[in-house]
Structure 1
Amino acid sequence: MSVRHDRRVRVQGRPVDSYPDLAPEAERGTVRRITVVGEEILARPCAEVTDFGTEELCTLIDDMFLTMYAADGAGLAANQVDVPLRLFVYDCPDDHGVRHVGHLVNPVLELPDPGSRRLLDDTEGCLSVPGAGLSVPRTDRALVRGLDKDGRPHVIEGTGYFARCLQHETDHLHGHTYLDRLSHRDRKNALRQMTARHDEILTRRAAKAARLSGS
């Protein structure tokens, strides 16, 4: 999932007149190692965040933003940087060209009723499955209720590609990757893709991390 930018931007669900190419949090961040499928932390549910407004939580969010950008991601969950907390960050467009940027703590995903939902098959990747991409069915709309780093409530709605992102990141917090939604054959295919491209992807990430950290 690559980041695509547009002039129309919503930050924490609210429209803004202008916004930089990288979220301001990234300027304070440090790139962390991204966990890889097969590591135990990615396969267990994350714990609720109970302490808000702390330096530790703010630093984690800053680091997650920079780590996401260094890996050319559109979203990143906390367990992908080896922290088992219910938190994700995102910088992702929807299908109408609106860029959505923000973070959500203790998110709860709500999907449309089965009778009104529409499933879309589209290629999906994951920063914890570097180099692989396969088609995954997701609903075309999603709503997530959660909190920000200071404990203030937020409701984030997404359509299309952004709805996919919200579902993907919430899955992580339940201990699932998109591989869990694939058939056995497709999962093996994804793992083969990852094996073939793993070193190439990590080399590219390291180069971009160095550029961002030095800017």
Structure 2
Amino acid sequence: MAIREIRLFGDPVLRTVCDPIENIDDGVRALVADLCETVDMEGRAGLAATQIGHTQRAFSLNIDGAVSYVLNPEIVALEGEPVPTGEGCLSVPDLWFEVMRHPRATVRGLDLDGDEIVIAGEGLLAQALQHECDHLDGKLYVSRLDRQTRGEAMRRIRQSNWF
């Protein structure tokens, strides 16, 4: 297990559509351990494999101090009309914008034993499920912003000290 470096906006791996995990082996177990250890810090709600340089469909969550993970996550339900939700991203540090997110979400995937798991929730959990699934599909939250706000986000990214 290791706390991994977070890949930042501009890194091509963040635009990669992740491959499904076909076999749960020691490499996948190590990936999950790294995802869980890296997300287990204050201020971190979720972490996708791409954010630590992997292109397998897996993410970890840290909601209300409970760390979990999902392999091969798939959104199976989005409920309620999308509402503006304040959102940030570890791969786009120090920026915060309103993104349209559904208030309730359900994800189905696998655990390390290959058993099906379902995670459903509202609020921060629903937001994190949507955000992390976006990452695994090669999308960053700034791509969901309206044109004017996306332009402002890009300007602020270019001016940041990390870009």
TM-score of the pair, normalised by structure 2 = 0.89
Q: Which has the higher helix share?
A: 1
Listed one character per residue, the Cα deviations across residues 127-181 of structure 1 (whole Å, up to 9, x for unaligned) are 1101111000100110000001221110110111210110000011111011110
Report SS of the residue matched to 1:57: helix
Task: Pick one of 94, 103, 122 that aligns with 2:69.
Answer: 103
Task: Pick one of 24, 37, 40 that aligns with 2:12.
Answer: 40
Alpha-carbon distance, 1:43 to partner = 1.1
Please tell me whether the aligned partners of residues 16 and 50 of structure 2 are also in contact (alpha carbons under 8 angstroms). Answer: no
Which residue matches 1:73? 44
Which residue matches 1:83? 54
Alpha-carbon distance, 1:197 to partner = 5.1
TM-score of the pair, normalised by structure 1 = 0.69
Task: Pick one of 96, 101, 106 that aligns with 1:133.
Answer: 96
Quick one: distance in 1 between partners of 2:44 and 2:115? 26
**Percentage identity across aligned positions?**
35
The yes-or-no answer on 1:122 pairing with 2:93 is: no
Query: Any stretches of 5+ residues in structure 1 without a counterpart?
Result: 1-28, 94-98, 200-215
Quick one: distance in 1 between partners of 2:46 and 2:100? 18
Which residue matches 1:188? 151
Letter in 1 for 2:87: E
Task: Pick one of 150, 154, 158 that aligns with 2:121.
Answer: 158
Q: Which has the higher strand share?
A: 2
Alpha-carbon distance, 1:73 to partner = 1.2
Query: Any stretches of 5+ residues in structure 2 without a counterpart?
Result: none
Report SS of the residue matched to 1:111: strand
Quick one: distance in 2 between partners of 1:159 and 1:57? 28
Q: Which has the larger radius of gyration?
A: 1
Quick one: distance in 2 between partners of 1:103 and 1:178? 20
Please tell me whether the aligned partners of residues 144 and 166 of structure 1 are also in contact (alpha carbons under 8 angstroms). Answer: yes
Computed over aligned residues only, the root mean square deviation of the Cα atoms, in angstroms, reads 1.9
Alpha-carbon distance, 1:183 to partner = 2.1
Report SS of the residue matched to 1:65: helix
